[in-house]
Chains A and B, each alone.
Chain A
Amino acid sequence: MTHATVAGAHRHAPPQGFLRKHVFSLDHKVIGKQYLDLALVAVCTGMILSWLMRFHLAWPETPIPGLAKLSPNGAAGGVITPEYYLSLMTMHGTIMVFFVLTTAPFAGFGNYFLPIQVGAEDMAFPRINMMSFWVTLVAFLVLISAFVVGDGPPLSGWTAYAPLSAVGKDAGPGQGVGQTLWAVSITLFCVAQLLGALNFVTTTLDLRTKGMSLARMPYSTWAWFITSVIGLIAFAVLMPACILLILDRVAGTSFFIPAGLVISDRLQPHAGGSPLLWQHLFWFFGHPEVYIAILPGFGIISHILPVFARKPLLGPRVMIACLVAIAFLSYTVWGHHMFLSGMNPFSATLFSVPTLVITIPATIVTLLWIGTIYGARLRFTTPALFCLGFVSVFVSGGISGFFLAQPSIDTYLHGTYFVVGHFHFVMGVAAMFGIFAATYFWAPKMFGRMMNETLGKWHFWLTFIGVYCVFMPMHYLGLAGNVRRYSAFTDDYLKPLIPLHRFITVAALFTGAAQLIFLFNLIRSRFRGPQAPDNPWEATSLEWSTTSPPPFDNFGGRPPVVERGPNEYGIGSGARGVDYGMQAAAARVSAR
């Protein structure tokens, strides 16, 4: 059944004044943009950290100009110390996974477009929505403050394995105040995402406009909806786990710390905890988190690809079924991160089987995208290129997952650069390509201005070639036995690999520089780009039935009536050049 929006039930007057309009706004569109801006700041920070790490790995003795001023402790004379390297790595991972890959594709684009795509005027709970963003911002500031407070940022990795993360400053620099700030930041982040996910679920179920049955929802809406259900369960586990970690650190409890540990020659006053408990709790969140990062990308690609293929997505119901299957299975595979952790070897078999099974819906999804291109009339716009790039990198990254899913091969490859290459491709780069596709696709709607296509294409090709140069060689490094999270390569068997590390570093710097094209294009188009029409891509979903950008209540007070699914491309005789059917046939709404 569908729910018509009750007129006026969620209406609030357009705000007056700069602060209420652009800063402390209840409007889901403003909040969505705020999330995206936060993600942009975060991704720049995370990328600069990765440049420092890469530079250090390639030229460990060469001072980095200016770094000594920024971090007198971590990089005296501009040369990164081993502990500062680990801090950079920890912050890079944490910022990227939480504040980029979760906030941009899910919280950012989801906030902006989910309500519009279901024909609602706003989220179900605008105040909770606003709170969700501001708590996320506080979480980010708390995390970043670790750079300037105490002995610097934590060094236990984004996975924060106990007891290294739990015993306090005896475990090393940054493990004092820095690690506590980390745990507080992640706790806050979980709160924010729970609030956001609650809003997404309620909005999807309750605020769909007339005619918008579940089966007619665009794939992006489906993906955000499913992702928020995953998030509700995953963040609800990570949050208490982080609280327990904080208690271990500041209140003398011993959830994750066993008896008799001697660290820095000091007997730790703890007893009775289990380090593996943290790993179970963390990965029970951590594996679904991979899908929180990538499922919105699945939805975005499934939404955008048909627009430029001028052809319906292949197997629409199969696609939805696969997304649901992935969501369900994502809760059964967390132990594949722990094959060698000392847990009962028998359980490795149990975790390996669903890990292999989850590749089946992922494979089907990929083949559906490729099948969608079959017989298409492909328009090579920048968003289309990023969709195709997404499919390519997802396949490349997914294939290395087949190796890691086998516990016996994981015995060798676990904890090496093979894993680093794998998850950067499949989770990082693929999700980033989804974000880029979404940005080029929706920027006209969000800002009312088109982005520059020529710059977009340069950005695509340089990035596409760049990421392959960065992450493909990492698989070879892993095969050669190069363990990850080393700040220097001192062994006879690792030293010969340094030239390859240099190649990766150069490629990473170039690929990073290519992002400046994107940044320039984004900022310039936001203010100077040509005016965007309401439906520049000839797409069907509801966001293209309203103005660019949409009015405060999205549809000018006239909720759209949905008459068909989002998949009507390549229909009709082509007379007048129209080969698609809008979801809402109603006349164009006018801005107020």
Chain B
Amino acid sequence: MRWWLPLKASTFTGPIDGLFLAILIITGIAFVLVEVGLLWFVVKYRQRPGRKAFYTHGSTRAEVIWTVIPAVTMVALGLISNHYWVEIKGRNSIPPNAYPIGIHAKQFEWQVTYPGPDGKLGTSDDFTVRNQLHVPVGRPIVVALSSEDVIHSFYVPQFRVRQDAVPGMDIKAWFQATVPGTYELGCSQLCGLGHYRMRAQVFVQTQEDYDAWMKQAAQEASS
């Protein structure tokens, strides 16, 4: 089992894991400094006979320093992070050549609609498969999310992708898988008693494997 972030299997893992690591290092240092400082002060300044406490209301210089340092760090992090956020979720960031797949969530299953051989959703050759998401590797995928009943959330840990599916709204989310394999798609928004078992399998395949699967699945669907 993995004791850290799951396998990196999409193009988003680079920025997200990188930013995570950067914040972990910065806050880790701050955490150790603060907790060790706290412990050190507690031991050093415990009550002992013959020593008086300092009477002070503080130092303006120290206060300015420890205000400016976190402020600058935080704003800098915010600016760096925002660039990634725009790439991941910005409405104009979805690549124009992204391959469309429709996902309709309902209690407690995922209905995955494939565009069929013509590669377009909303045409007569579309077909729907329950709880199986097949995607070609190395190609941007845009998922059109909708919901039948309550709010669900599309979550594939290995892709670092999460997006709520909200009834009454059409929401698009995109990603690009990088490692062929089998993953799990889970619901991450409380949707009722079957929330924990609202599962689909995700198959990341090479383009050839995907095409072969598509041909066979389309035939089965039409027969």
Instruction: Using CB atoms and an 8 Å cutoff, list the residues of chain A in contact with chain B.
Output: 81-83, 86, 155-157, 161, 163-164, 167, 171-173, 258-264, 273-276, 309-312, 314-316, 318, 340-342, 344-346, 348-349, 352-353, 356-357, 359-360, 363-364, 366-368, 370-371, 373-380, 388, 391-392, 395-396, 399, 402-403, 405-409, 411-412, 414-416, 476, 479-481, 483, 485-493, 496-497, 567, 569-571, 574, 579
Contact = CB atoms under 8 A, between A and B. Distances in A.
A371 B34 CA distance: 11
Most chain B C-beta atoms within 10 Å of own C-beta, residue among A171, A275, A340, A370: A340
Given A275-B166, A415-B189, 12 more contacts: A172-B192, A262-B149, A263-B107, A276-B166, A342-B165, A342-B169, A349-B86, A360-B74, A370-B41, A409-B81, A480-B4, A492-B184
B167 A375 contact: no
B194 interface: yes
Interface stretch (B114-122, B134-142, B151-159, B212-220): B151-159
Interface in B135-181: 148-151, 153, 155, 157, 160-169, 171
A412 B15 CA distance: 11
Interface residues of B, number: 88
5 contacts: A263-B148, A309-B53, A311-B56, A376-B54, A378-B42
Contacts of A366: 34
Contacts of B199: 490-491
B219 to A, nearest CB: 30
B78 A485 contact: no
A399 B30 CA distance: 9
Given A171-B150, A262-B148, A345-B90, A407 B167 contact: no
B105 to A, nearest CB: 12
B12 to A, nearest CB: 8
Contacts of A481: 6, 157
Nearest to A571: B55
A369 to B, nearest CB: 9
Which 7 residue pairs of A and B lie closest in terms of their CB atoms, listed nearest first? Answer: A258-B168, A481-B157, A496-B1, A375-B54, A570-B53, A83-B193, A486-B196
Contact of B38 (A276, A310, A391): A391
Nearest to A89: B190
A222 B106 CA distance: 49
Given A163-B151, A408-B19, A342 B171 contact: yes
Contacts of B27: 399, 402-403
Contacts of B95: none
B35 A395 contact: yes
Most chain B C-beta atoms within 10 Å of own C-beta, residue among A261, A366, A388: A261
B16 A311 contact: no
B67 interface: yes
Contacts of B150: 161, 163-164, 167, 171, 261, 263
B71 interface: yes
